[in-house]
């Protein structure tokens, strides 16, 4: 079988798997599983988060839910997708948001959770345009900014980070290996646990979105 035939077969398998996962994801939504998970993140934010005033600045500590920061009051604060991508944030990470006098948002990662490194196959939903990675028997959502930055396409291999504990919905992209690259397997880093200390980021202002 030629490489082109193998790629075609891979794309077909990915599309079939994605259709099945979409159906399973809808069943989970119908059962309220997503609501339970969001409730757990809100509870963590309520217990570990805080709100304070320092001069003309407002300081909020909360939990990253894969897209936004959840504050202790349950309110969601938008985290720029490219900041989350570059910082490789995963669900459960503690963040500090400083809202300055001029209304600027400055994020700081203050409590990264332990991570696992996985490798999977990139796929997309033709209807919504959302991207996912199929790793093992699970599907994880991906931030579009990460896929755009690495110029990922369905069928590419993706090295991702997910929380070591729990059942995450989102994964952070560490690297994308093009399906056409020769010897790509040799470029995949060691899989398994990744110490949280490797992902402590210094404070920085939320940057502009990646083009």
pLDDT in tens, 52-90: 999 999 999 999 999 999 999 889 999 999 999 999 999
Residue of 110, 98, 79 whose CA lies nearest to 201: 110
Percent of the chain with pLDDT over 70: 67
Would you list the DSSP string of 42-68? Answer: HHHHHHH-EEEEETTEEEEEEEE-SSE
Q: How far apart are CA 185 and CA 179, in angstroms?
A: 10
117 has a pLDDT exceeding 80: yes
121 has a pLDDT exceeding 50: yes
Which residue is listed with tokens 């093992």? 136
Q: Residues 113-125: what's their mean pLDDT?
A: 94
Give the pLDDT of residue 30. Answer: 47
Q: Residues 24-32: what's their mean pLDDT?
A: 50
CATH 2.40.50.140 matches 114-198: yes
* Domain ranges, ordered by start, for the chain: 33-112, 114-198
Mean pLDDT of the chain: 80
- For residue 203, count other CB atoms closer than 10 A to its CB: 11
Give the pLDDT of residue 48. Answer: 84
Structure-model confidence comparison of residues 27 and 173, the more confident one: 173
Handedness of CA 98, 78, 120, 5 (dihedral sign): negative
- pTM reported for the whole predicted model: 0.73
Q: Residues 150-173: what's their mean pLDDT?
A: 93
């Amino acid at each position: 079988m030629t490489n082109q035939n193998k790629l075609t077969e891979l794309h077909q398998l990915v599309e079939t798997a994605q259709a099945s996962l979409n159906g399973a994801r809808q069943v989970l939504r119908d059962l309220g599983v997503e609501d339970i998970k969001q409730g757990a993140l809100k509870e963590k934010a309520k217990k570990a988060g805080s709100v304070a005033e320092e001069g003309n600045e407002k300081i909020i500590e909360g939990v990253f839910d894969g897209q936004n920061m959840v504050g202790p009051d349950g309110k969601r604060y938008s985290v720029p997708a490219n900041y989350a991508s570059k910082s490789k944030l995963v669900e459960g990470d503690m963040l500090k948001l400083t809202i300055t006098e001029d209304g600027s948002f400055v994020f700081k990662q203050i409590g990264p959770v332990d991570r696992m490194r996985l490798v999977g196959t990139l796929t997309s939903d033709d209807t919504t345009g959302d991207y996912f990675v199929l790793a093992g028997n699970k599907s994880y959502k991906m931030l579009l900014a990460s896929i755009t930055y690495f110029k990922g396409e369905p069928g590419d291999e993706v090295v991702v980070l997910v929380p070591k504990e729990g059942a995450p919905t989102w994964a952070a992209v560490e690297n994308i290996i093009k399906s056409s690259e020769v010897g790509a397997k040799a470029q995949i880093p060691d899989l398994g646990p990744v110490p949280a200390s490797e992902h402590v980021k210094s404070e920085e202002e939320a940057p502009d979105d990646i083009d």
